Amino acid sequence: MENSRKRPLEEEKTEGMKKRHISNRVTQPNRRRYPLINQGATCYLSSVLQVLFMTPDIHERLDPTSSILDRELKAIFKNLPKTSCGTENVTEVLGISDVHQQRDAAECLEMILKRLGPDASQVFQGQLKETTTCLVGHVIIEETSPFFILPLPLQDGRSAKCSVKTGFRQFFQRTAHTGDNMVYCSKCKRKTEATSGCEMVDSPPVMTLLLKRFDFDLGTRSDVKSNRCVDVPFTIQTETKSYTLYGMVNHVGSLRGGHYTATVLSGEDGAWYDCDDAHVAEVEEQPFANDRKYSSSSVYLLMYRASASRTDRSSGDRDKAKTPGGPAETRSSPRLVLLLVFGCVTLVILVILFSVFLL
């Protein structure tokens, strides 16, 4: 069932990309790409920035008058196609003083998105509605909140299969409150069995998934890092959108120490590139090439772009219009002015015609 749905999607969305990849490789081989310089242990930041660099929707929306971070990212993204760049100004804006201390790439991405101007950060922002309902169907709790990252569980350690798609489904599965965990329902006027769960009421243009590799193990009562191999799909279908993978942040190593890299899909030549401290190089065995499946024991963050925002500008605008206060509102106002002017001119012409007839 899942395969029959996946196949046409991949054919439709990726065939063009693959063809372009092949034709562009003939015309422009060996296009050089540049790394971001590691200040000590800032590979978590470089990896996140390399993915943001491959997010054109962000570039269009960076507004140097809106925030200092917008200005700094704009400067890096302007220079990165020509040379390797430092990130000192970014760490300063983010308030990172110890550049030799390892940090979490997901926390770093959230820190960046929270400090970006609203136009840019909206690209990664969606809304989740969490509800708890009793067995009769009374809504006990309902809360809608914005999100940048969806943390996906890695399935039961005893299971051999581990996949992003299963984790994604599990994230939206409802959990039951029974026995000691029953919840008080004010309409039933008693403690009752209930279910809790969340749904995505606003899908972001770019959806970031986090694989919970760093977690707390209840068995050993200690923090653990999981290096399990995870099947990564090229496309993910939500109720309203089709998403295509274009960026991954990988972590190799343990809880105490390790190294981050990014793997990004270039929109220019349709090839995947590995971004490391000293170099950016085309991935030798291209993920997903020739319908090959991709799995990884190091992928940690996955960035999926909604197909609409990539291929269809007008539906991209519709997405923005969903978010209150977004730029779509300001874009619609010139249309309103035009309509008003047109109305006034028509009225004046009618009045003049009336006067001429009466005279």
Q: Site residues (CB under 5 A) for Zn ion?
A: 134, 136, 138, 185, 187-188
* CB of 182 or CB of 188, closer to Zn ion: 188
CB of 185 to Zn ion, least distance (A): 3
Per-residue burial over 88-108, b = 16 or more CB atoms within 10 Å of its CB, e = otherwise:
ebbbebbebeeeeebbbbbeb
Q: How far is the CB of 53 from Zn ion (least distance, A)?
A: 50
Cβ atoms 228, 251 nearer than 8 A: no
What are residue 305's DSSP bridge partners? Answer: 206, 244
Query: 64-74 b/e with 16+ CB inside 10 Å = b?
Result: eebbebbbbbb
- Shortest distance in whole angstroms from residue 139 CB to Zn ion: 9
Closest contact distance (angstroms) between CB of 192 and Zn ion is 6
Q: 18 or 138, CB closer to Zn ion?
A: 138
> Which of 135/339 has CB closer to Zn ion?
135
Number of C-beta neighbours around residue 178 at 10 A: 12
User: Least distance to Zn ion from the beta carbon of 187, Å?
Assistant: 5
Of 125 and 195, the one with the shorter C-beta distance to Zn ion is 195
Shortest distance, CB of residue 142 to Zn ion, whole angstroms? Answer: 13
Give the nearer residue to Zn ion in terms of CB position, either 20 or 138.
138
Q: How far apart are alpha carbons 234 and 60 in whole angstroms?
A: 25
Cα(294)–Cα(286) distance, rounded to whole angstroms?
9
Q: Least distance from C-beta 141 to Zn ion, angstroms?
A: 12
* DSSP string for 86-143: --HHHHHHHT---TTS---HHHHHHHHHHHS-HHHHGGG-EEEEEEEEETT--EEEEE
- Enter the DSSP assignment of 65: T
Q: What is the DSSP string of 236-285?
A: EE-SS-EEEEEEEEEEEE-SSSEEEEEEEE-TTT--EEEE-SS-EEE-SS
- Name the token pair of 104: 């979490």
Closer CB to Zn ion, residue 80 or residue 140? 140
Nearer to Zn ion, 52 or 183 (CB): 183
